Every structure is written in C-alpha cells, then in structure tokens.
Amino acid sequence: SQKIEQNSEALNIQEGKTATLTCNYTNYSPAYLQWYRQDPGRGPVFLLLIRENEKEKRKERLKVTFDTTLKQSLFHITASQPADSATYLCALEKYNFNKFYFGSGTKLNVKP
Amino acid sequence: NAGVTQTPKFQVLKTGQSMTLQCAQDMNHEYMSWYRQDPGMGLRLIHYSVGAGITDQGEVPNGYNVSRSTTEDFPLRLLSAAPSQTSVYFCASSYLGSDGTSYNEQFFGPGTRLTVL
C-alpha cells in the first residue's frame, strides 16, 4: 500500500517568515496530491490540489510544488501569521482508485 | 447548506457494545468515506462508497460495517466494540470525476470522538 511521510516534529517559525512543509510518498505515483489544514478538535479543511502533470500551484500566500521524480511535494506559506498555526496534512489518490491516503501531518507553530 | 454532519460528537461504549455513527451530506456528492484518526497515525480509510448501493473496503475495515441506501447518508456500524476502536472518526464526501478519479476536495464532518472501555 501507499506510504506517505510528513515530518512528525513540529515546525516553529517566526511571524513573517516562509514556512515549508514536506510530504514524501513511496510506491505508485498518485493522480494528484492534496493539502489540508486541521485545527484541534475539528475536521480537515481542503487547501490546495496539484495534479501529477503540474509542477506548481499557488493560492494567495500558499504554494505547492510536486516533483514526481523525487516523489515529493512541498507546501509553502509565505508571510506566515500566528493564525496559520495548525496541523497540515497531505493526501493522495491513485488514478481510478477511489482510495485516499493521508500523511500523519506536520504541526506548524507561528510565533508573533 | 449544512455540509457534512456527524452524530454523535462524543460517545463512550463498553467492550462488546454495538453502535452506529451517523453521517449525512447535503451537497449531492457521489463519494463518501469514513476515516479514523489516531495520534501519530494520520487519517486511515475505513470504508468508502462511490454511490448509493456501492461500498468498498479501505485500509482498516475490520470491525466496521457500512451501507449506502441513499446519496445523502453513510452510517458506520461497530458491531462489537473493542478498546482498539477508541479513536476520532471522520466522515467525508466529494464529487467524483468522470473517469472515476475524484480530483476534487473532500469535505469533512466535525468528527465523533469514541472511547471504548
């Protein structure tokens, strides 16, 4: 089955800096990869989706890259704010497979 | 739209008891799924459905049953609860793409925190 690795250690950064989170996967290449935000006690909320044939996707202060050679996606938050503090999850789906695999998430702490 | 709703929010069971976690969505999504989330384990897929009358197993299906009689509802049944099923359970839904791949965001419910003693 698919294995997805995210850094289990919390990422602590200063307000205004760029946060970079990593998602690595093994085995088959996904059709696409998604990033979600999860706050304590709540369900995940969708942020961005990037397809297999796309290198980069942007949405406001968020940027996702996808390197199928390295089997890695990077998630960037520029000009980070304390309100960005949360756990960020990556997820992927194989073509026509209807099964999503999630990483365990990385906790981001943005200090004022 | 209410989105994805789950009931109950909290539940405590004794070993061997049965119960049903309810999930409903009002977005006419074809795809619905159940996940469990344990500390350090991320979200793991239990069961999923691509439409009414169609269900399939995910990564961790043992001890759980599902059915999908309508597009809106996707209940999860624990037939004989075990302490290993203590977890937070999330239901999610999304549209399905024309080729069977979702390519769409999943909408998650608020979760049910289940403790089995």
B33 near B91, Cβ under 8 Å? yes
B24 near B70, Cβ under 8 Å? no
| C-beta contacts of A63-71 below 8 A and 24+ residues apart | A64/A33, A64/A35, A66/A33, A68/A29, A70/A24, A71/A24, A71/A25, A71/A26, A71/A29
Residue A24 confidence class, pLDDT cut points 50, 70, 90: very high
Chain B interface includes A62 (CB < 8 A): no
Angle at B46 between CA B44 and CA B50, to 5 degrees: 115
Q: Cβ of B33 and A100 within 8 Å?
A: yes
A89 near A35, Cβ under 8 Å? yes
- Token pair of B10 as six digits: 């909290």
Rounded to a whole number of angstroms, the distance from the CA of B27 to the nearest CA of chain A is 16
- Token pair of B67 as six digits: 């059915």
Q: Is B63 helix (H, G, I), strand (E, B) or coil?
A: coil
Q: Cβ of B40 and A46 within 8 Å?
A: no
pLDDT over threshold 90, residue A62: yes
- Scanning every residue of chain B, which has its alpha carbon at the shortest distance from the alpha carbon of A87? B42
ω before A44 within 30° of 0 (cis)?
no
Task: Kindly state the average pLDDT of the residues A2-10.
Answer: 86
pLDDT tens across the length of chain B (117 residues): 789 999 999 999 999 999 999 999 999 999 999 999 998 788 999 999 999 999 999 999 999 999 999 999 999 999 999 999 999 999 999 988 766 666 678 999 999 999 999
